[in-house]
């Protein structure tokens, strides 16, 4: 990546996963118990999506969630890493309550395959495999546009795809921690787009074949 890192990819991935899981837990807490802290932070983060200068919202919330520690400062102070958080956390906070979690297969032997099979392409493909061909073609266009969107422009496109699917179908399974990591690698590992595409067409093509 373009900047000099004082941390490894594994450290970044671990931190992204911890943030994503904490946001997920906070959303669940907000929906079930509506605690003051969950209500405050989720409202804060939702507000940040419409604010171009949302650094304060993100840092304030991470601090409240005790996700800022001395050893994490070098990661957060990296502009590229922090820009990923500024992009995905507001989307997660705004739409996460309407999305469903994948069931974790505790018996899965190949954890790498498990992670790949639950990427965002899988989310769309699995959902659309149950829909009519016309619907598939419509969403496929949005998916292909998303795949070709540079990271600097992906925020609005990703939000639009997720919100439109939720509006149309009323449900969508998303592995948010994996989505955080995939966006982190979006412009530096072309395998991410390939894996999304492979997972998407694996289920859509299979269903179209069965309908013939």
Residue 108 has pLDDT above 70, yes or no: no
Nearest to 89 by CA among 47, 118, 124: 47
Residue 74 has pLDDT above 80, yes or no: no
Record the pTM: 0.87
Residue 4 has pLDDT above 80, yes or no: no
CB atoms within 10 A of CB 183: 22
Note whether residue 2 is domain-resident.
no
Q: Verify that 25 and 119 share a domain, yes or no.
A: no
Note whether residue 1 is domain-resident.
no
Q: Verify that 42 and 58 share a domain, yes or no.
A: yes
Q: Verify that 116 and 73 share a domain, yes or no.
A: no
Task: Tell me the mean pLDDT in the region 66-76.
Answer: 76
Q: Verify that 56 and 130 share a domain, yes or no.
A: no
Query: What does DSSP assign to residue 106?
Result: T
Q: Verify that 131 and 201 share a domain, yes or no.
A: yes
CB atoms within 10 A of CB 40: 14
Q: Verify that 57 and 136 share a domain, yes or no.
A: no
> Per-residue confidence at 77, pLDDT binned at 50, 70, 90?
confident
The CATH number covering residue 192 comes to: 1.10.520.40
Comparing 127 with 135, the larger pLDDT belongs to 127
Q: Verify that 183 and 115 share a domain, yes or no.
A: yes
What are the b/e assignments for 20-32, b being 16+ CB within 10 Å? Answer: bebbbebbebbee
Q: Verify that 171 and 207 share a domain, yes or no.
A: yes
Q: Verify that 111 and 197 share a domain, yes or no.
A: yes
Rounded to a whole number, what is the distance in angstroms from the first to the last CA of the chain? 46
Task: Tell me the mean pLDDT in the region 16-44.
Answer: 96
- Pick the last residue of a domain from 98, 130, 148: 98
Q: Verify that 124 and 84 share a domain, yes or no.
A: no
Q: Give one DSSP letter per residue of 109-133, joined into a string.
A: S-HHHHHHHTSHHHHHHHHHTTS-H
Range of the domain at 206: 102-212
Q: How many domains does the chain have?
A: 2
> Per-residue confidence at 211, pLDDT binned at 50, 70, 90?
low
Place of tokens 């899981």: 21
Q: Verify that 92 and 138 share a domain, yes or no.
A: no
Q: Verify that 83 and 44 share a domain, yes or no.
A: yes
pLDDT in tens, 145-160: 999 999 999 999 999 9
CA separation, residue 57 to residues 23, 61, 63, 107, 180 (Å): 14, 6, 10, 39, 18
Beta strands in 78-176 (DSSP E): none
Task: Tell me the mean pLDDT in the region 23-48.
Answer: 95
């Amino acid at each position: 990546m373009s900047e000099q890192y004082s941390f490894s990819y594994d450290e970044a991935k671990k931190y992204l996963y911890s943030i994503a899981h904490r946001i997920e837990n906070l959303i669940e807490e907000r929906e079930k118990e509506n605690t003051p802290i969950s209500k405050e932070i989720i409202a804060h983060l939702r507000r940040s999506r419409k604010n171009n200068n949302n650094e304060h919202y993100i840092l304030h919330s991470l601090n409240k969630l005790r996700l800022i520690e001395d050893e994490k400062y070098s990661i957060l102070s990296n502009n590229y890493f922090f820009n990923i958080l500024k992009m995905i956390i507001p989307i997660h906070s705004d739409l996460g309550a309407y999305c469903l979690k994948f069931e974790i297969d505790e018996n899965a032997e190949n954890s790498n395959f498990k992670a790949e099979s639950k990427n965002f392409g899988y989310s769309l493909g699995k959902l659309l495999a149950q829909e009519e061909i016309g619907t598939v073609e419509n969403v496929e266009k949005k998916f292909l546009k998303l795949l070709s969107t540079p990271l600097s422009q992906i925020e609005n496109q990703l939000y639009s795809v997720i919100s439109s699917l939720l509006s149309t179908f009323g449900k969508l399974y998303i592995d948010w921690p994996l989505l955080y990591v995939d966006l982190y690698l979006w412009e530096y590992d072309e395998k991410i787009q390939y894996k999304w595409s492979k997972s998407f067409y694996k289920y859509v093509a299979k269903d179209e074949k069965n309908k013939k």
